[in-house]
């Protein structure tokens, strides 16, 4: 798919901007701070209803305004759809599809699909586990919108269970009534949690082959990139597991047991219940739930070393980019119809890569329906990428 | 802030469920301007309800006497007890006319965040009622939200050893909703199609999902 036209009203630095884009590669060029990322952020917003830079919408509204509009024309196979999202301060956002009556903003999810890579994504490798959990959870919802409520269901059970653990702790010893309701919350936590886990494992299974391939084609050293799911409910889980040792096959299979990968929801549920029983004493001491998908991580490795804490800056960069490229491949495989592939957005990437990697990345993304690239200087963008260059100056974009 | 009595009234109204500060103020001024006799009637209705209406000593439904009309009604079956969270759920199920057994009102649902466990509900009294050997079945009609489901799970675990048939309302009820807002037809169906409480089915495997269809405006 591709976006042929984006129009921003009171979004970030733009009072009004209209950008014409074409299929294939589009390069937004302009000095730092001019407003390039603001444009791709708006496109990403149409796909996910959230910004890749901030967690709430307020910074998206141009200073002094309380309503922003993002409009776009999307071409998907032979189908043209016009979209409009209204971002309002302190109110529910609304959307319109093909100028029809406004609908809830989330009704447009799935129409535009984007994969956005930005410098912030280094956190996928270097940041805390929540970054990696969110990466899997977000991709799951894109592939399977019916799972959108799964994570929220789990969080609600978790809150209730934590409240019970806390009150049991404050009340001193565990009364029998407490104990019997804790069993009840365990059942519900395990059931909701097994769904979250099953979804994440499935997404990781789909990503894995593409992650290895993408990393191999970006980096020159012959280290293999792998991603393993570290489930806190797995019997051998130890939080210090990945620290300061080389990860041989044995070590890895202990940290991320293959049994979990192929387990069905019912089996995961049983494992979960078992883990809850084993940690109950500790949980009652601490007053919080210590095992479950809310505390899991994805172990990223390069060769035999964990990426976090060991990878060089360049390796970190390539691995984060490889994760996004893998997501792009998985989404493409999910809907393989011609002209339905996701839009690939590369924000400020090329400046960070050396000439060889620039060329490699250009080759990798060449087949995408649409690639939107931002760069401060045109010479950072390799000639192989081709495409149309658009000059971004304060408040305007021109080809 | 208003002076004395007016502000006090606004504060009191604001404590009622579903009434925010704006509505409280609007209602307070409505009361100020309304016909005094009407307002005296309202005040009386409130104090009478607090004086006269109690909870049925058998089922804990609201009642004007020791036991409620439903518990005293001899045409109703003593074999089935329908367990609900609140009195308003009894009214909702009665509206459906799909059920002619007895009720048991728990007085809420298990909710650790609000400090509510089984001890705060009429669970012990329910177990005591099951000593009556005429009772053969229990329908769990708690709300189809997390707290209602957890309460049902708890009751299943607690009551199962007693060897009584336990069923749960069939879904069809809006998930995450309140039982009282379900319409009669939905509720009647849910009662007819009540299911045995068995472990939930495993989730479907990840499948490909097509893009949502949208109307084309033009083609190229
Ligand atoms: N809500 C806003 N209102 C007005 N200006 C904003 C807003 N948010 C960001 N900006 C401005 O946008 C500029 C950053 O734009 P950005 O797209 O990140 O630049 P770049 O071209 O380097 O990617 C900054 O000058 C910033 O002050
Ligand atoms: Mg930028
Ligand atoms: Zn009664």
For residue A38, the ligand closest to its alpha carbon is 1
How is domain A125-306 classified at the architecture level of CATH?
Up-down Bundle (1.20)
For residue range A133-161, list pLDDT tens digits in order: 999 999 998 888 778 788 889 999 999 99
Mean per-residue pLDDT, B187-199: 65
- What tokens appear for A161 in the block? 């269970």
- Tell which A residues from 220 to 259 touch B, by Cβ distance under 8 Å: none
A340 vs B219: CB contact, 8 Å cut-off? Answer: no
Q: What is the dihedral of CA A89, A134, A139, A308, to 10 degrees?
A: 140
Residue A51 has pLDDT above 90, yes or no: yes
Q: Whose CA is nearest to atom 17 of ligand 1?
A: A35
Return phi, psi of residue A302, to 5°.
-120, 115
For residue range A189-228, list pLDDT tens digits in order: 999 999 999 999 999 999 999 999 999 999 877 899 999 9
Q: What is the percent of chain A with per-residue pLDDT over 90, rounded to a whole number?
A: 72
What is the reported pLDDT for A236? 75
Is A36 annotated to bind a ligand? Reply is: yes
For residue range A229-265, list pLDDT tens digits in order: 999 998 877 665 555 667 777 777 777 777 788 889 9
Mean per-residue pLDDT, A7-25: 96
From A9, A17, A33, the mutation candidate for ligand 1 (largest count of ligand atoms within 8 A of CB) is A33
Mean per-residue pLDDT, B3-20: 90
List, in sequence order, every residue forming a beta bridge with B40; answer none if it has no partner. none
Residues 6+ apart with CB under 8 A from A115: A324, A325, A327, A328, A331, A342, A343, A344, A345
Is A30 annotated to bind a ligand? Reply is: yes
Pairing between β-strand A24-29 and β-strand A370-375 as defined by DSSP bridges: parallel
What is the reported pLDDT for A325? 96
What is the reported pLDDT for B213? 42
User: Residue ranges of the domains in chain B?
Assistant: 4-52, 74-196
Residue B207 has pLDDT above 60, yes or no: no
Q: Which runs of consecutive H residues, i.e. helices, occur in A107-147?
A: 122-126, 129-143
What is the reported pLDDT for A219? 87
Phi-psi region of A373 (alpha: psi -120 to 50; beta: other; left: phi over 0): beta
What is the reported pLDDT for A167? 84
What is the reported pLDDT for A194? 96
Mean per-residue pLDDT, B136-164: 93
From A8, A15, A30, A35, the mutation candidate for ligand 1 (largest count of ligand atoms within 8 A of CB) is A35
Nearest-atom number in ligand 1 for the CA of A60 is 1
Q: What is the ipTM of this complex?
A: 0.78
- Among A57, A82, A84, A199, CA closest to A140: A199
For residue range B179-189, list pLDDT tens digits in order: 777 766 667 76
What is the reported pLDDT for B90? 97
Mean per-residue pLDDT, A261-276: 93
Residue B55 has pLDDT above 60, yes or no: yes
Q: Whose CA is nearest to atom 18 of ligand 1?
A: A37
Give the residue from chain B lying closest to A150, CA to CA.
Answer: B203
- DSSP, collapsed to helix, strand or coil, labels residue A241 as coil
* Ranges of CATH 3.40.50.300 domains, chain A: 2-113+338-398
Rounded to whole angstroms, what are the CA distances from A214 to A225, A275, A327, A357?
A: 9, 35, 10, 12
How is domain A2-113+338-398 classified at the architecture level of CATH?
3-Layer(aba) Sandwich (3.40)
What is the reported pLDDT for B173? 66
What is the reported pLDDT for B175? 62
- Among A52, A59, A22, CA closest to A37: A52
Mean per-residue pLDDT, B23-39: 93
What is the reported pLDDT for A172? 53
- Among A399, A391, A398, CA closest to A30: A391
Confidence band of B215 (pLDDT split at 50, 70, 90): very low
Distance A12 CA to ligand 3 centre (A): 62
- What tokens appear for B150 in the block? 């957890």
A160 vs B147: CB contact, 8 Å cut-off? Answer: yes
For residue range B78-123, list pLDDT tens digits in order: 999 999 999 999 999 999 898 999 999 999 999 999 889 999 999 9
Burial of A306 (0-12, 13-18, 19+ CB in 10 A): buried
Pocket (CB within 6 angstroms of ligand 1): A 12-13, 30, 32-38, 59, 61-63, 374
CA distance B121 to chain A (A): 12
Q: How many CB atoms lie within 10 A of CB B118?
A: 19
Residue B217 has pLDDT above 60, yes or no: no
Burial of A107 (0-12, 13-18, 19+ CB in 10 A): middle
- Kindly report which listed range (A53-67, A253-267, B18-32, B156-170) carries the lowest average pLDDT score: A253-267
Distance A38 CA to ligand 1 centre (A): 6
User: For residues B3 and A86, what is the distance between their CA atoms, to the nearest angstrom?
Assistant: 42
B154 vs A181: CB contact, 8 Å cut-off? Answer: yes
Residue A323 has pLDDT above 60, yes or no: yes
For residue A349, the ligand closest to its alpha carbon is 2
* Ranges of CATH 1.20.1050.90 domains, chain A: 125-306
Which of B150, B203, B212 minimises the CB distance to A188? B150
Residue A177 has pLDDT above 70, yes or no: no
Q: pTM of the entire structure? A: 0.83
CB A362 within 8 A of CB A384: yes
Q: How many CB atoms lie within 10 A of CB A350?
A: 21
How is domain B74-196 classified at the architecture level of CATH?
3-Layer(aba) Sandwich (3.40)
Residue A84 has pLDDT above 90, yes or no: yes
Instruction: Name the residue with higher pLDDT: B209 or A156.
Output: A156
CA distance B9 to chain A (A): 30
How is domain B4-52 classified at the architecture level of CATH?
Orthogonal Bundle (1.10)
């Amino acid at each position: 798919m591709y976006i042929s036209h984006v129009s921003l009203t009171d979004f970030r630095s733009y009072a009004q901007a209209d950008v014409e884009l074409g299929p294939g590669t589009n390069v937004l060029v302009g000095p730092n701070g001019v407003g390039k990322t603001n444009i791709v952020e708006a496109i990403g917003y149409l796909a996910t209803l959230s910004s890749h830079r901030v967690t709430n919408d307020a910074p998206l509204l141009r200073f002094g305004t309380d309503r922003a509009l993002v409009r776009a024309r999307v071409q998907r196979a032979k189908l043209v759809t016009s979209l409009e999202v209204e971002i309002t301060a302190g109110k529910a956002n609304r959307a319109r599809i093909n100028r029809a009556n406004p609908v809830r903003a989330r009704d447009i999810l799935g129409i535009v699909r984007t994969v956005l890579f930005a410098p912030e994504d280094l956190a996928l490798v270097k940041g805390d586990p929540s970054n990696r959990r969110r990466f899997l959870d977000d991709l799951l919802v894109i592939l399977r919108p019916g799972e959108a409520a799964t994570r929220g269901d789990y969080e609600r059970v978790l809150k209730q269970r934590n409240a019970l653990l806390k009150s049991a702790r404050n009340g001193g010893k565990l009364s029998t009534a407490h104990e019997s309701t804790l069993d009840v919350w365990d059942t519900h936590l395990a059931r909701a949690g097994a769904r979250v886990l099953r979804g994440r494992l499935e997404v990781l299974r789909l990503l894995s082959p593409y992650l290895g391939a993408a990393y191999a084609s970006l980096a020159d050293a012959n280290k293999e990139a792998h991603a393993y799911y570290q489930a806190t409910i797995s019997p051998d889980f130890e939080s210090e597991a990945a620290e300061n040792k080389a990860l041989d096959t044995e070590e890895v299979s202990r940290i991320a047991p293959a049994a979990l990968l192929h387990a069905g929801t019912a089996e995961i549920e049983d494992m979960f219940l078992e883990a809850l029983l084993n940690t109950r004493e500790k949980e009652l001491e601490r007053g919080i739930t210590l095992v479950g998908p809310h505390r899991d991580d994805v172990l990223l490795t390069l060769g035999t070393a964990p990426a976090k804490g060991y990878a060089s800056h360049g390796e970190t960069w390539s691995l984060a980019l490889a994760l996004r490229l893998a997501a792009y491949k998985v989404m493409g495989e999910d809907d393989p119809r011609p002209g339905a592939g996701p839009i690939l957005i590369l924000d400020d990437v090329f400046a960070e890569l050396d000439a060889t990697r620039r060329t490699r990345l250009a080759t990798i993304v060449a087949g995408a329906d649409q690639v939107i690239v931002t760069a401060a200087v045109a010479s950072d963008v390799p000639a192989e990428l081709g495409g149309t260059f658009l000059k971004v100056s304060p408040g305007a974009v021109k080809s | 802030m208003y002076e004395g009595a007016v502000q006090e009234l606004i504060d009191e109204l604001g404590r009622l469920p579903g009434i925010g500060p704006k509505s409280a103020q609007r209602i307070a001024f409505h009361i100020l301007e309304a016909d005094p006799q009407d307002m005296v009637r309202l005040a009386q209705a409130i104090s009478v309800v607090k004086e006269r209406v109690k909870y049925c000593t058998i089922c804990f439904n609201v009642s004007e006497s020791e036991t409620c009309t439903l518990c005293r009604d001899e045409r109703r079956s003593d074999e089935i007890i329908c367990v609900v969270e609140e009195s308003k759920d009894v009214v909702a199920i009665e509206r459906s006319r799909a059920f002619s057994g007895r009720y048991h009102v728990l007085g809420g649902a298990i909710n650790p965040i609000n400090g509510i466990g089984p001890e705060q509900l009429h669970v012990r009294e329910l177990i005591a009622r099951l000593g009556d050997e005429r009772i053969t079945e229990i329908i769990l009609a708690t709300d189809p939200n997390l707290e209602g489901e957890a309460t049902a799970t708890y009751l299943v675990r607690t009551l199962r050893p007693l060897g009584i048939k336990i069923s749960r309302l069939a879904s069809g009820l809006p998930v995450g909703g309140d039982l009282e807002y379900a319409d009669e037809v939905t509720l009647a169906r849910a009662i007819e199609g009540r299911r045995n409480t068995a472990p939930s089915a495993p989730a479907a495997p990840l499948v490909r999902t097509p893009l949502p269809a949208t109307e084309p405006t033009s083609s190229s």
